[in-house]
Amino acid sequence: MTTRRLLYLGLFVLYLLHNDLWLWDDADLVLGLPVGLLYHVAYCLAATGLMALLVNYAWPSELDAEEERSA
């Protein structure tokens, strides 16, 4: 499987994990934060990392070539 396909699979997995229905009724505190909020903090960090990987490894090279031609 290519790197691009793995990154797209990671994107789909993050899409599925976005709604944390399993933590809605959990009132526990972790590090002073509700566990649902802490989950979304971790989710945002994972999404940020995945987006950085997507830009570095899955960005279409045609867009860069078009920008260089127009400059």
| Average pLDDT of the segment spanning 53-69 | 77
For residues 20 and 46, give the distance between their C-alpha atoms in angstroms, rounded to a whole number. Answer: 14
Task: State the pTM of this model.
Answer: 0.76
Return the percentage of the chain with pLDDT > 70, whole number: 89
φ/ψ (deg, to 5) at 33: -115, 145
pLDDT at 21: 85
Q: Is the pLDDT of residue 4 over 90?
A: no
Helix or strand holding residue 33 (H, E): strand 33-34
Distance of alpha carbon 53 from alpha carbon 71, whole angstroms: 26
pLDDT above 90 covers a percentage of the chain that reads 51
- Residue 46 pLDDT > 90: yes
For 5, the token pair is 């396909």
